[in-house]
Copies of this chain bind each other. A is one copy, B any other.
Amino acid sequence: MKKQAKKVIEKRSECPISCTMDLVGDKWSLLIIRDMLYLGKTTYNEFLKSNESISTNILNDRLVKLTEIGLIAYTGNSKRKKYELTKMGRDLKPILESVAIFGMKHSTADKAFLQNVKKKMNL
């Protein structure tokens, strides 16, 4: 029954940008948040089926971390967890918006991607 010790997230400095990156500046966290915000995903298996193919151990690790941080929270028993963004988590939306805008302008990404998603979600 080895629960991973709740490791304190280290701050590299007092800069608000640096601090935020220390929370969600890894390869996967913001994509999980995106799936919640734009795709309405709530469960482990839904997150697992993203186009970017996150692996199970990383997904689990991120869900635990994001929950510990307080960006997401779950309801339901341990085998039917439903994750939701907290108030704090929803405050990440402007970040995702600006990241998406940059991506639509500069990357070779499919520019219709988020537009379609938003339409589907009535956003």
**Is A91 in contact with B109, judged by CB distance below 8 angstroms?**
no
Q: Known contacts A25-B27, A30-B25; is A19 also within 8 Å of B95 by CB?
A: no
Chain A, interface size category, equals 35 or more
> Which residues of B sit under 8 angstroms from A113, Cβ to Cβ?
14-16
Q: Known contacts A102-B92, A102-B94; is A114 also within 8 Å of B14 by CB?
A: no
Looking at the assembled complex, report how far the CB atom of A25 sits from the nearest CB atom of chain B, in whole angstroms. 6
> Which residues of B sit under 8 angstroms from A81, Cβ to Cβ?
none
CB-contact partner of A99 in B11, B13, B14, B95, under 8 A: B95
Binding site for B on A (CB under 8 A): 11-21, 23, 25-27, 30-31, 34, 50-53, 88, 91-92, 94-111, 113-114
20 A-B contacts (beta carbon < 8 Å): A11-B109, A13-B52, A14-B113, A15-B51, A16-B100, A16-B104, A16-B111, A17-B30, A17-B34, A17-B114, A19-B103, A19-B107, A19-B108, A20-B102, A20-B109, A21-B31, A91-B102, A94-B98, A95-B99, A98-B98
